[in-house]
Amino acid sequence: MIPIQDVLHRIQWDAAWRGRRFEVGFLDRVAGTIMRVPFGELHLDGGARASLTVRDPDGSVLRIPLHRVRQVWRDGEIVWERRPAASRDD
């Protein structure tokens, strides 16, 4: 699987992907659902943080760790999806 950082950087910098409508879906742990956000509303935090920041509807800034990103859509179709963690039978 392609790492999410590579997908996000390609959206950001690849001229072949310009003009497309991208959305990023991340796990909202409180609601227990995938929240979709237009790529243009996200800020990629570099360095060791490995996260995105986005403003929620009430204006609060949310920091989303990249491991909570679950899906990426391009023009309404999923182009990247994190595989679910394998379950363990302990």
Q: Amino acid identity, residue 43?
A: H
Task: Give the DSSP H/E element, type plus range, for residue 8.
Answer: helix 4-13
Point out the least confidently predicted range of 18-22, 40-44, 74-78, 85-89.
85-89
With a cut of 80, say whether residue 21 has pLDDT above it: yes
- The confidence score (pLDDT) of residue 48 equals 58
What is the CATH code of the structural domain delimited by 4-81?
2.30.30
- pLDDT tens profile 27-77: 988 888 999 999 999 988 776 568 999 988 888 898 999 999 999 999 999
Q: What is the pTM of this model?
A: 0.83
- The confidence score (pLDDT) of residue 89 equals 47
Give me the residue spans of the domains in the chain.
4-81
Intra-chain end-to-end CA distance of the chain, in Å: 27
